[in-house]
Chains A and B, each alone.
Chain A
Amino acid sequence: MLVYLIKRLGLAMVVVCLVVLVLFSLLHLIPGDPATIALGPRATPEAIARYAEKMHLNDPIWQQFLIYIGNAASGDLGLDVFSNRPVTAIILDRIGFTLALVFASMGWAVVLGIPLGCLAAVRPDSLLDRITGVLAVGSIALPSFLVSIWALLIFAVEFRWLPAIGAGEPGDFSDQLSHLVLPAFAIGLSWVGYLARMVRASMLEVMGENYIRSARAFGLRPRKVVYGYALRVAILPTITLIGMGFGGLISATVFAEIIFARPGIGKLIFDSVMARNFPVVQGAVLVATALYIFVVLFSDILIAWLDPRVRESL
């Protein structure tokens, strides 16, 4: 298990480095002089020179890359071009909002999606199974930005049940919670479908296994058989999916954060790309990537811990 952990961590580091390299290349492939683009067409030559100096834009790209990697390893992601604030501090200000949104979205998707999948699998081809199937596929097909706009128009603009914008009054938990409802609904909806379909498929496979038939033959209650034995095994691929899902949700939050004007990593990246604020873009993407890799790694370890077959194969 230890060797497995070390291998996975090493791979994670390589992936992070590759992401930074690709990001560096992309930012420098944008047509035009980066300093002029960042400061606007009317920037004075002095301001352009100051910016280029501050951003190490006069150094070779490989040198800029090495400087960045070295600083990042010590937790220094550079300074915001405009405000001179440390990028790390800016990211720390926002990351909590993104994580809250991701956990809330995945949370309600798990709470609804897994039982729906179980119910559909217990009664395959029943009316409930068909309805669940249609709803699941429908929710998967709907893009989250569209759901965001519809949810906002219906629940905030038309009925005014829920707040439309922002993250709520700082320090007021219930207000912050109410501001979380619509964005979490919007980006979690498709995951209800994904999870329901995945659990249903896994459950159907497991329900046909000999040990389930034996459990039934021994007269165990159906509830015990489904939730105590079948789901415990069927949930394993779902955990992998949830792990991957967290990564996907970090990307999906970009739309929700823009549409609902919520602070967060996604919106920070978007705004910084628009302003050509390179250090913030690099820092925020690096953190988002690291988060994604960490969650996937965590889900793999969790599966290894839950499933003796996986553990033994390591």
Chain B
Amino acid sequence: MTMPKTTRRQFLGSTAALGALTVAPAWTGAVVAQEGGQKVLRVRQDGDNAILDPAYMVGGTEVEAQKQCLPFLAEYVEKDGSFSWRPTMFVTKLELRDPTHIDFELTPDLKWSNGYGTLSAEDVKYSYERMKDGDWAGYFEALDSVEVTGELTGTIVLKQAFAPFFMVTLCHGPGAIVCKQATEDAGGQFTIDFPAICGPYTYTYTPGQRVVFDTNPEWTGPKPEFDKVIATVITEVKASELAFDAGELDCTELGSDTLARYTQSMPEGTAVTTAGQLQYMWMGMNTDHPKLKDIRVRQAIQRAVDVDSILAGAYSDTTAEMHGIICPGLLGHREETGYDYDPAKARALLDEAGVSGLELTLRTLNNQERMLTAQIIQANLAAVGITVKVLPLDSGPFWEMGQESKGDTWKDLELWIMRYGTTPDPYEATQWFVSDQVGIWNWERWTDEEYDRLYQEGIAETDEAKRRDIYVRMQEIMENTGAYVWINHEPESYAHIDQIEINAAPSGELNYRRFKQV
């Protein structure tokens, strides 16, 4: 046997070439990952799944798992920036027969795993009626019963007309259907594993590490685009962004500062999709407080705050300006506000009210964006002669400060920065400001009979145009109290490789089975 001869020069040349190969980036472009001929999607999961059972779930990532492994009757659809619903592949019929009866017919031959037979109307009845005793019972308050009329057919009966039922209940996590027999065999509820699945993917969870969704061999419905989805548990959004930059993820949520950076200079092979803007943030004023009882003082504050500066300074212009509590894409969203930034008018209103040397306390959660927002408001109000002391708070005392049941802090509340999240229907955002909520979540402490009446009408109204008018009017009433400075709607934004089209609920939960390769 002869050994190949290598000269010193050849050896050095080969070593240099190998070294150069090693130094060169291993990844040169954003492509869909392949594993053994399978198309693999790599995404971030922002925490561990604790309770997959829709009746007792924590929410968020658990809803993402449910969407892959459990049937739903309806799903969100977005068109031209507005959200609505449509029947899923699990039903051949889903119709509102009258305001209190919803008829459904399930797709035949959809099998539950682990030998639990096929999906039936009994499963729907069991799933929805048990929700009334669960942690998410609020979503099913309007439900009276589910009548089973056949193996695959039934009717959801509501106690009263409840227009948001499709968008808020059926499309969202609480609308997931579980297998009756499997759930009962599991003791009536389940936590980190599904007792039976019926969907395009199977579910394998390694706590603290990842969830793997593999193609379900028993699934007879439409095949999803990706054969396998690997959702790595990354709790910190910054770590997830770095993993995306390193090419280890195909999709990640973005923080507001990174969104600003991407918006200014989009990395090659990357696209950004906004799922929804279902957060709404405002500065509230206590209408009962002696310093703020005069509506002219509140109106002066409304006009003294430069919201554009807040959007630029605290949010790098990545959030939408708010014109009311109904978020963009939802019925009743307003495109303009009834007041403008006008420091001169603010000063005039204060003079008219005979107020000078006013000192107020602004309470806020102690995170970066809120503190910046508070500081800008402090500077704006100083310009019209109002001295503001900013009081940063931890989440515990912050969320209790306006609640009468939690102490007396509500009596001292003057100004605060508040942010709520909502579901993709206007009713939820409006419910916190009815008269019954004074001292609970209506910290501004005003009441209005028209508002309360419109709230009830909005829930029952099924005509879209009439509903829109109702919610627009409700926001006008709120604004006219002078107790609100509308600030912004923060988006749920995702960066992803530009070879895929992502699908997310308006509240941000990803639905991998509706992802597409483009």
Binding site for B on A (CB under 8 A): 30-33, 36-37, 41, 44, 47, 80, 82-85, 90, 93-94, 97, 152-153, 156-161, 163-167, 170, 258-261, 263-264, 267-268, 270-271, 274
Complex: how many Å from CA A172 to CA B396? 43
Chain A residues within 8 Å of B240, by CB = 165, 261
Interface bits B401-438 vs A (CB < 8 Å: 1, else 0):
00000100000000000000000000000000000000
The reply to whether A160 and B239 contact each other, CB–CB distance below 8 Å, is no
The reply to whether B248 and A165 contact each other, CB–CB distance below 8 Å, is yes
Answer whether A32 and B396 are a contact pair too, CB < 8 Å, given A94-B208, A161-B26, A166-B210.
yes
* 7 closest A-B pairs by CB: A32-B396, A263-B208, A82-B50, A83-B50, A41-B399, A164-B246, A261-B234
Answer whether A261 and B192 are a contact pair too, CB < 8 Å, given A80-B50, A164-B243, A164-B248.
no
Complex: how many Å from CA A39 to CA B40? 35
Q: How large is the interface on B (under 10, 10 to 19, 20 to 34, 35 or more residues)?
A: 35 or more
Q: Is B206 an interface residue (CB 8 A)?
A: yes
Contact partner of A271 among B26, B48, B245, B396, CB < 8 A?
B48
The reply to whether A156 and B242 contact each other, CB–CB distance below 8 Å, is yes
Q: How far is the CB of A179 from chain B (nearest CB, A)?
A: 11
Complex: how many Å from CA A179 to CA B208? 15
Q: How far is the CB of B45 from chain A (nearest CB, A)?
A: 10
Chain A residues within 8 Å of B49, by CB = 83
Q: Is B232 an interface residue (CB 8 A)?
A: yes
Contact partner of A166 among B138, B191, B232, B247, CB < 8 A?
B232
Contact partner of B247 among A80, A160, A170, CB < 8 A?
A160
User: Could you list 20 further interchain pairs (A-B, Cβ under 8 angstroms) beyond the known A160-B246, A165-B240, A261-B235?
Assistant: A31-B396, A32-B394, A32-B395, A32-B396, A32-B400, A33-B406, A44-B137, A159-B23, A163-B248, A165-B243, A165-B248, A165-B249, A170-B206, A170-B209, A259-B239, A261-B233, A263-B207, A263-B208, A263-B209, A263-B233
The reply to whether B400 and A36 contact each other, CB–CB distance below 8 Å, is yes
Q: How far is the CB of B44 from chain A (nearest CB, A)?
A: 9
Interface bits B1-43 vs A (CB < 8 Å: 1, else 0):
0000000000000000000001101110000000000000000
Chain B residues within 8 Å of A271, by CB = 47-48, 235
Complex: how many Å from CA A153 to CA B51? 35
Q: Is B151 an interface residue (CB 8 A)?
A: no
Q: Within residues 206 to 253 of chain B, which ones have a CB less than 8 A from any CB in chain A?
A: 206-210, 232-236, 239-240, 242-243, 245-249
Q: Residue on A with the closest CB to B191?
A: A83
Q: How far is the CB of A110 from chain B (nearest CB, A)?
A: 27
The reply to whether B242 and A37 contact each other, CB–CB distance below 8 Å, is no
Complex: how many Å from CA A251 to CA B191? 30
Q: Is B102 an interface residue (CB 8 A)?
A: no
Q: Is B460 an interface residue (CB 8 A)?
A: no
Chain A residues within 8 Å of B48, by CB = 83, 271
Chain A residues within 8 Å of B185, by CB = none
The reply to whether B25 and A160 contact each other, CB–CB distance below 8 Å, is yes
Q: How far is the CB of B205 from chain A (nearest CB, A)?
A: 11
Complex: how many Å from CA A165 to CA B208? 12
A-B pairs with beta carbons under 8 Å apart, 14 shown = A30-B394, A32-B395, A32-B397, A156-B248, A158-B25, A163-B248, A165-B242, A170-B206, A259-B239, A261-B234, A261-B236, A261-B240, A264-B208, A271-B235
Chain A residues within 8 Å of B400, by CB = 32-33, 36
Q: How far is the CB of B188 from chain A (nearest CB, A)?
A: 13
Chain A residues within 8 Å of B246, by CB = 152, 156-157, 160, 163-165
Chain A residues within 8 Å of B248, by CB = 156, 163-166
The reply to whether B239 and A36 contact each other, CB–CB distance below 8 Å, is no
Answer whether A84 and B233 are a contact pair too, CB < 8 Å, given A93-B208, A261-B243, A267-B208.
no
Answer whether A258 and B236 are a contact pair too, CB < 8 Å, given A82-B51, A157-B242.
yes
Complex: how many Å from CA A136 to CA B242? 29
The reply to whether A90 and B239 contact each other, CB–CB distance below 8 Å, is no
Interface bits B477-488 vs A (CB < 8 Å: 1, else 0):
000000000000
Complex: how many Å from CA A286 to CA B239? 27
Q: Is B390 an interface residue (CB 8 A)?
A: no
The reply to whether B27 and A93 contact each other, CB–CB distance below 8 Å, is no
Q: Is B135 an interface residue (CB 8 A)?
A: yes
The reply to whether B239 and A165 contact each other, CB–CB distance below 8 Å, is yes
Q: How far is the CB of B235 from chain A (nearest CB, A)?
A: 6
Answer whether A37 and B396 are a contact pair too, CB < 8 Å, given A157-B246, A164-B243, A258-B239.
yes
Q: How far is the CB of A181 from chain B (nearest CB, A)?
A: 14
Contact partner of B394 among A31, A47, A90, CB < 8 A?
A31
Q: Is B58 an interface residue (CB 8 A)?
A: yes
Q: Within residues 448 to 507 of chain B, which ones have a CB less than 8 A from any CB in chain A?
A: none
The reply to whether A32 and B243 contact each other, CB–CB distance below 8 Å, is no
Complex: how many Å from CA A153 to CA B242? 8
The reply to whether A267 and B243 contact each other, CB–CB distance below 8 Å, is no
Chain B residues within 8 Å of A156, by CB = 242, 246, 248
Q: Residue on A with the closest CB to B27?
A: A160
Q: Within residues 114 to 156 of chain B, which ones have a CB less than 8 A from any CB in chain A?
A: 135, 137-138
The reply to whether A30 and B236 contact each other, CB–CB distance below 8 Å, is no
Contact partner of B399 among A36, A152, A258, CB < 8 A?
A36
The reply to whether A47 and B135 contact each other, CB–CB distance below 8 Å, is yes
Complex: how many Å from CA A160 to CA B236? 21
Chain B residues within 8 Å of A159, by CB = 23, 25-26
Answer whether A93 and B207 are a contact pair too, CB < 8 Å, given A165-B248, A261-B239.
yes
The reply to whether B396 and A267 contact each other, CB–CB distance below 8 Å, is no
Complex: how many Å from CA A156 to CA B239? 12
The reply to whether A44 and B135 contact each other, CB–CB distance below 8 Å, is yes
Q: How far is the CB of B222 from chain A (nearest CB, A)?
A: 29
Q: How far is the CB of B413 from chain A (nearest CB, A)?
A: 15
Answer whether A152 and B242 are a contact pair too, CB < 8 Å, given A85-B191, A85-B192, A164-B248.
yes
Q: Residue on B with the closest CB to A152?
A: B242
The reply to whether B395 and A37 contact each other, CB–CB distance below 8 Å, is yes
Interface bits B373-402 vs A (CB < 8 Å: 1, else 0):
000000000000000000000111101100
Complex: how many Å from CA A309 to CA B258? 60
The reply to whether A30 and B396 contact each other, CB–CB distance below 8 Å, is yes
Q: How far is the CB of B93 from chain A (nearest CB, A)?
A: 34
The reply to whether A160 and B234 contact each other, CB–CB distance below 8 Å, is no
Chain A residues within 8 Å of B406, by CB = 33
The reply to whether B135 and A157 contact each other, CB–CB distance below 8 Å, is no
The reply to whether B397 and A260 contact each other, CB–CB distance below 8 Å, is no
Q: Residue on A with the closest CB to B238?
A: A259
Q: How far is the CB of B244 from chain A (nearest CB, A)?
A: 9
Complex: how many Å from CA A160 to CA B248? 10
Chain B residues within 8 Å of A153, by CB = 242
Complex: how many Å from CA A188 to CA B47? 27
The reply to whether B58 and A82 contact each other, CB–CB distance below 8 Å, is yes
Answer whether A261 and B399 are a contact pair too, CB < 8 Å, given A93-B208, A163-B248, A166-B209.
no
Complex: how many Å from CA A152 to CA B243? 9
Complex: how many Å from CA A165 to CA B235? 11
